């Protein structure tokens, strides 16, 4: 970061009367962590990094480095709108570095950056959009979470059946104040279940956006005396929560290569399922309601694993198997690597749209497939594979 950029950050901090700056990072599983610093520590953060105890962070316990260093990404600077108007709190996403100044290879944001570099070398530009579902549950009289849905509404119902409408509106407005733009929001199939969708963006911004989105949803729900649940199957007899990913891709000449990308992802989807669906409950969701359970695609049925839709001169592919227990940085990186292989080999989509292999039926099966995969071994650090396949 040059002196001009640092001066702009410091000017923004002063103008916003910010007293605390949250330096946000993530563990190996995409769970957001943070450390707060005072404004006077910001130059040090950019120049040297702020130390954190690596071995206390999930997935980094066996790191050879006792300390890792957070260095902020100035482009992610934003105000946390729910904090006080005076003495505001700002947030920046950070990357993790080792004591010798090298990017920490188990930092999945760094891993995504490497995948983006690989795509740039191949002349392919990826963009991702997200459709992430969540339930809203009530708390009991002691403020503890329950499994009682906030309403009994169904798909795209309206008020008064849809009691979540004002919660979604507050979430969307809060996210907008943070510089992001939600596209659509509506009530989903399950009682108290909701979905907010985002326009497609470049991979790193899309992953940062997903982490911000989950934080805002959880915060707004809590401020309203409720609890948000992104887990794959919050209620065993109701629809699960999906994290549907819209994929766009073009080559250096502007040609649409999404079909090759979609074919590449389908070819590797069983290999990478454990990283897209890391929870035990992820496999209960498969085949439940409209969640896919086999490696299939369609251009007219949006309940298959991959929905490939031509629209106004371009093609969108929607991958429907991931859920929000996954790490978006890792997910997008793996989709890029698999998609690049599809482009390189000019893979066609399978002729038999609905006759593909089954997705793993259990976490154990997904782990076994990943551990046997040459593709996974080629693109992921061994330590990260181990963390997900324990």
pLDDT band per the 50, 70, 90 thresholds, residue 247: very high
Q: For 197-209, how does the pLDDT look when each residue is reduced to its tens digit (9 = 90+)?
A: 998 999 999 999 9
Helix (H) or strand (E) holding 102: none
Q: Is 109 helix (H, G, I), strand (E, B) or coil?
A: helix
3-state secondary structure of 318: strand
DSSP letter, residue 135: E
Give the pLDDT of residue 2. 52
Instruction: Give me the residues paired with residue 311 across strands.
Output: 314
Interacting residues of 207 by C-beta distance below 8 A, sequence separation 6+:
109, 112, 128, 328, 329, 331, 332
Q: What is the pLDDT of residues 318-375, one digit of tens each?
A: 999 999 999 999 999 999 999 999 999 999 999 888 778 999 999 999 999 999 999 9
Mean pLDDT computed over 220-239: 97
Checking if the pLDDT of 301 tops 90, the result is no
Is the model's pLDDT at 47 over the cut of 80? yes
Cα(137)–Cα(120) distance, integer angstroms: 43
HSE, CB side, 13 Å, CA atoms: give it for residue 389: 21
pLDDT at 83 over 80: no
pLDDT at 303: 87
Cα–Cα distance measured from residue 157 to residue 208, given in angstroms and rounded to the nearest whole number: 30
Q: What pLDDT shows up at residue 119?
A: 98
**pLDDT tens, residue by residue, 109-156:** 999 999 999 999 999 999 999 999 999 999 999 999 999 999 999 999
Q: d(Cα 243, Cα 263) in Å, to the nearest integer?
A: 20
Query: How much is the pLDDT for 310?
Result: 87
Provide the percentage of residues in the chain whose pLDDT is more than 90. 91
Q: Tell me, what's the pLDDT at 159?
A: 94
When pLDDT is averaged across residues 14-43 and rounded to a whole number, the result is: 95
Predicted pLDDT of residue 226: 98
User: How confident is the model at residue 314, as a pLDDT?
Assistant: 86
pLDDT range class, residue 3, cuts 50, 70, 90: low
From first CA to last CA, the distance across the chain in angstroms is 38
Mean pLDDT of the 232-247 span: 97
Handedness of CA 119, 120, 123, 124 (dihedral sign): positive
What local confidence, expressed as pLDDT, does residue 4 receive?
54
Give the confidence band of 92 by pLDDT, cuts at 50, 70, 90: very high
Give the pLDDT confidence score for residue 363 in this predicted structure: 98
Closest CA to 243 of 348, 146, 326, 154: 326
Largest CA distance in the chain: 61
Residue 302: the pLDDT is 81
């Amino acid at each position: 970061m040059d002196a001009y950029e640092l001066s702009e950050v410091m000017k923004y901090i002063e103008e916003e009367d910010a007293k605390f700056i949250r330096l946000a990072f993530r563990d190996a599983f995409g769970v957001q962590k943070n450390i707060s610093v005072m404004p006077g520590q910001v130059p040090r953060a950019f120049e040297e990094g702020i130390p954190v105890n690596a071995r206390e962070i999930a997935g980094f316990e066996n790191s050879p480095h006792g300390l890792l260093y957070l260095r902020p990404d100035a482009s992610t600077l934003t105000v946390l709108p729910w904090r006080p108007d005076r003495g505001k709190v700002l947030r920046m996403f950070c990357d993790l570095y080792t004591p010798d100044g090298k990017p920490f290879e188990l930092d999945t944001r760094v891993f995504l950056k490497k995948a983006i570099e690989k795509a740039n070398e191949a002349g392919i530009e990826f963009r991702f959009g997200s459709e992430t579902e969540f339930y809203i549950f009530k708390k009991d009289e002691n403020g503890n979470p329950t499994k009682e849905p906030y309403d009994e509404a169904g798909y795209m119902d309206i008020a008064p059946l849809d009691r979540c409408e004002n919660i979604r509106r507050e979430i969307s407005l809060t996210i907008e104040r943070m510089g992001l733009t939600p596209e659509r929001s509506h009530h989903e199939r399950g009682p108290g279940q909701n979905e907010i969708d985002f326009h497609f963006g470049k991979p790193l911004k899309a992953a940062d956006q997903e982490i911000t989105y989950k934080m805002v949803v959880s915060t707004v729900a809590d401020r309203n005396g409720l609890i948000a649940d992104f887990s794959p199957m919050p209620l065993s007899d109701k629809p699960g929560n999906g994290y549907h990913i819209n994929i766009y891709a073009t080559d250096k000449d502007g040609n649409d290569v999404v079909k090759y990308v979609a074919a590449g992802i389908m070819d590797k989807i069983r290999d990478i399922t454990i990283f897209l669906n890391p929870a035990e409950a992820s496999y209960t969701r498969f085949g439940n309601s409209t969640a896919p359970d086999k490696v299939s695609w369609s251009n007219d049925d949006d309940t298959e694993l991959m929905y490939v839709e031509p629209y106004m001169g371009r093609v969108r592919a929607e991958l429907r198997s991931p859920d929000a227990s996954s790490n978006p940085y890792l997910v997008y990186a793996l989709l890029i690597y698999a998609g690049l292989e599809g482009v390189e080999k000019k893979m066609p989509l399978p002729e038999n749209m609905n006759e593909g292999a089954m997705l793993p039926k259990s976490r154990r099966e997904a782990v076994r497939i990943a551990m046997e995969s040459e593709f996974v071994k080629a693109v992921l650090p061994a330590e990260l594979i181990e963390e997900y396949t324990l």
